[in-house]
Amino acid sequence: MFKSATLLVLLSLSIESLAKVLPTEPSPDSKWAVGSKQTIQYKIDNDDKDTKWDKFSIELMTGPDLYTIFVGKVAENITVDDDEKKGKLEWTLPETVNPHSQIYFLQFYNSDNATDKTWSTRFTITDTDGSSVPPAHSTQPKSGKDTPWGIGLLQPGHVDQDTLPLHHNYPASDAAEEKIKDGGGSKQDEVEPDSSGYSAFKTSALFVSALTIVTVSFL
């Protein structure tokens, strides 16, 4: 005769999950010309399967660390486990980026949760002949951090490097972060892009509760 017992197992786990997107190219030494085809390279590191980035998107950004400015879309909904990607993505740079300088970086974000973000370092977008100008600013506003920056746009002509735009489009941050009233842009987390190393976003602590019903049959 078989007897059946049902066990209710309540699993409550407090997990500090770590979801990382580690861009390796562009790097601080990258000098990519407008209109050229380049290869973005990255690594995906998920220490916790519950926070896996199944898909992510990439945007071209500019501006200072705490008031980043959206320049344009690079790619959307890249599948993390797509074997054909192998951590590489071909990207043709727009032809109208201005000015040509080391003031641009890529923002990676989880397509399912736009608050999970990480950045490449700042890299140089050059003119077609490889020429560029120094960043307009040598230190970060307010903090005084020794990280050069500037403002770039997808338009020809002069760009005002002393006034952050009051109105802009920020696809990755619209639903997640408030606009900065006195300067535009999106206020970032504690980890920002810089010119010397790579950055990774550490998610906040995640409390996971699961109710598992286990049925055991025995003789």
Q: What is the DSSP string of 15-28?
A: EE--EEEEEEES-T
Whether residue 204 is contained in a domain is answered as no
Tell me, what CATH number does 59's domain have? 2.60.40.10
Whether residue 92 is contained in a domain is answered as yes
Whether residue 29 is contained in a domain is answered as yes
Number of domain units in the chain: 1
- The pTM assigned to this predicted structure is 0.68
pLDDT digit string (tens) for the chain, length 219 residues: 434 333 333 332 223 334 467 789 999 999 999 999 999 998 877 565 555 677 889 999 999 988 889 999 999 988 876 544 468 899 999 999 999 999 999 999 888 888 788 899 999 999 999 999 999 999 998 889 999 999 999 886 677 777 765 444 444 333 333 333 333 334 343 345 554 443 333 322 222 223 233 333 334
Tokens of 160: 């005002």
Place of tokens 């562009």: 26
SS3 67: coil
pLDDT for 120 equals 93
Whether residue 217 is contained in a domain is answered as no
Whether residue 69 is contained in a domain is answered as yes
pLDDT for 173 equals 36
Whether residue 140 is contained in a domain is answered as yes
Angstrom distance (rounded) from CA 138 to CA 194 = 12
pLDDT for 118 equals 85
Angstrom distance (rounded) from CA 169 to CA 154 = 13
pLDDT for 193 equals 59
Whether residue 188 is contained in a domain is answered as no
pLDDT for 112 equals 82
pLDDT for 142 equals 83
pLDDT for 181 equals 30
Residue 26 belongs to domain spanning: 18-152
Whether residue 192 is contained in a domain is answered as no
The neighbour count for residue 60, using CB atoms within 10 Å, is 22
pLDDT for 86 equals 61
pLDDT for 31 equals 98
pLDDT for 111 equals 83
∠ CA 200-185-157, nearest 5°, is: 110
